[in-house]
Amino acid sequence: MYPTRNDLPEAMRRQMIDLCNARLAEAIDLQTQTKQAHWNVKGPDFIALHELFDKVNEDVEDYVDLLAERAVQLGGATEGTARSVASRSTLADYPLKSGTGRQHVDALSSALAAFGKLIRGAIEQSDRAGDKDTNDIFIEISRGVDKWLWMVEAHLQPEG
């Protein structure tokens, strides 16, 4: 750890750095999956989904920064390289073959839901640890992920 005048106990900071880095791996993975959908979506809803996926990506990029910067604020280092993310992320692999818009919506919905569940677990862990600031970051991310899951999943609903 790096020296810091942050007054949180070192043990708590170490625990939160580890938690932030774990969720950082999944956030970066989610970001790349979102871009995969954005780049490869096809079909009659192309422009709507292409733009939606890009908006999701913008917010996920913000989540990546929040998590990485929090780890550094606590005296840690981030672990955000492609190799680190590939070895640490617990999200399912995104299907690489191009599919229909609906298939991309389904795949991205699954990734958002899995990430949301992990973030809710991090809310519980940071709350138990007593780090209200890190907890607040996870709560902010959870609200955003739930919003995007709702908006993406709406494309799976039947018309009418």
Match 């292409």 to its residue by tokens: 50
92-96 long-range contacts (CB < 8 A, ≥24 apart) are 94/32, 94/33, 94/36, 94/37, 96/36
Beta carbons of 50 and 41 less than 8 angstroms apart: yes
Domain ranges of the chain: 10-155
For residues 151 and 157, the model is more confident at: 151
59-93 residue pLDDT tens:
999 999 999 999 999 999 999 999 999 999 999 99
Give the predicted TM-score (pTM) of the model: 0.95
Mean predicted confidence (pLDDT) in 4-12: 93
User: In CATH, what is the architecture of 10-155?
Assistant: Up-down Bundle (1.20)
